[in-house]
Amino acid sequence: MKHTSLSLLFILGSALLSGGLSANDGTPAASVTTTPQVSDLEKFFTQDYLLGTWGGVRTDLAKKGVDFEFFYIGSMPTNFDGGIKTGTEYQGALLLALDIDFQKLGGGHGGAFHVSSVWLEGDSFSANHIGDLNKSNLVDFPSSFRLWEFYLQQKFLNDTLTLKVGQMSVDRDFIVPDFYNSIASINFLNQTFFYPTLAFNLYDIPGFPKGSHGLPSTPYGSLGVFLKWAPTSKFYVQGAVYDGNPDTGNTGTKIKLSREEGALAYFEIGYRYNQGKDDTGLPGSLKLGGFYHTDDFLDLYDTLGAAYGFTKGARGPHDGNYGGYFLAEQMLTREHGKNDPTQQGLLGFFRLSAAPSDRNLTQFGVDGGLVYKGVIPSRDYDTIGIAASYLEMSDDLARAQRRANLVVPGSFMPVDYEGVVELNYKAQIAAWWTLQPSLQYVIHPGGSKAIPDAWVFILQTTLRF
């Protein structure tokens, strides 16, 4: 979107924020007996999409079971101190999705089809300016226009069993927060709060020999099969198997199934409480899960040590790789009753993740934070959030680096951990438009003291068409 268009939208939004849409014409409130007229401008800002119903086309298609979504993220991250170098990048992402409900089209019950793609623009911010593993910006990916997901879905047994087959992203089904952060409700911009960085151990480690494995996370996907059983609204168990090496090229259409790439399996159990219509307590959720990749993974200590003349005697690559996670979310306070559509109040989240240190760059992660919705009176949909993450690097790799320094002094700055603290405010300018500044402090970018701590500021906007 052109910057002039964004400027115009900002001016209109400012008018809304300052009360420019007020219906007060000087008449005392006590004498008003009729319902105030809603202006066209107010209707424009309160409609779900920037382009409305597309002249009724969107509404008519939805009745027939065809829904589509266009969602734009424009982001301007700036590193103003520390890291690799200071500077600013512009990064954008346009998400396009189509969903078809077969029952509304006259087909059988519970059948659906989904397809989506992503257009990405901009140069890499983290690689050029920060050097962080967590990645400060949510849309920090190489420029491309790629297929994201396409799958068929069918529900069985009174909708308690869900089956999906096709190309999917694991982060659309696993470790998905119920409350604090999602593509539909972006409250944090650092990627680790969207999906834990530890799961990205499945990618190759820079400087080590390459393997045939990866993680199909947004905007990447892999062919797979997903199955979820939810016998009640509170409990579910789910699992999936994906191709072990997603296409990370420019199109996302190169499908290759081979024994060399192996397979990636995910599983998760979840419990949601106080989310039913008759529940009176504050809502929350608990998720426990893990993953396993069948490909071979190098031993970090021996792989590095071989170049310096030492090993611990590991017998070749490790068979497979795995990790686990736990996620807890809890609404801590609620300003109004459970029927309040804005759900104003304070929400907390806490997450743990772990993986073996002999074959993974990171071995332990913990993050958590708080999000308050409606903290400013009359700004009921705005959120303010603060979150922190600690990502511990592999002990095996650190030991190998220290021993290598004894052989060749100064070869490495041994890894230890990477941390990040993020504070941001998301302003809901219109139902279809948000503006969000984020301030982040990145500690030990890349997992060691080799790169100075960095201060990052990001200004992001989102638009729904």
Partners of residue 298 on adjacent β-strands:
none
Q: What's the DSSP call for residue 249?
A: S
**Tokens (6 digits) for 374:** 């409606």
Range of the domain at 210: 38-464
Is 332 among the domain residues?
Answer: yes
Residue 219, preceding bond cis, omega within 30 degrees?
A: yes
Helix H or strand E segment including 68: strand 66-81
pTM of the model: 0.89
Q: How much is the pLDDT for 41? A: 87
- What is the total count of domains within the chain? 1
Q: Is residue 6 part of a domain?
A: no
Q: Which pLDDT tens digit goes with each residue over 316-362?
A: 789 999 999 999 999 999 988 788 888 899 999 999 999 999 999 99
Q: Does residue 22 sit within a domain?
A: no
- Contact of 358 with 301, CB cutoff 8 Å: yes
- The reported pLDDT for the residue numbered 34 is 56
- Using DSSP, state whether 395 is helix, strand or coil: helix
H-helix segments, 264-392:
300-305
Q: Is 316 contained in some domain?
A: yes
Please provide the size of the chain in residues: 465
**CB 132, CB 126: distance < 8 Å:** yes
| Percent residues over pLDDT 90 in the chain | 76
Residues in contact with 435: Cβ distance below 8 Å, sequence separation at least 6, in sequence order: 10, 13, 426, 427, 429, 459, 460, 461
103 in any annotated domain: yes
Of 1-15, 188-202, 376-390, minimum mean pLDDT range: 1-15
Q: Answer whether residue 134 is part of any domain.
A: yes
The CATH number of the domain holding residue 373 is 2.40.160.180
pLDDT digits (tens, 9 = 90+) for 277-308: 888 899 999 999 999 999 999 999 999 999 99
What's the start-to-end Cα distance of the chain, in Å? Answer: 12
Please say if the pLDDT value at position 22 is more than 70.
Answer: no
Contacts of residue 171, Cβ cutoff 8 Å, sequence gap at least 6: 194, 195, 217, 218
Average pLDDT over residues 197-202: 96
Asked if the structure places residue 177 within a domain, the reply is: yes
pLDDT exceeds cutoff 50 at 6: no
Residue 20 lies in a domain: no
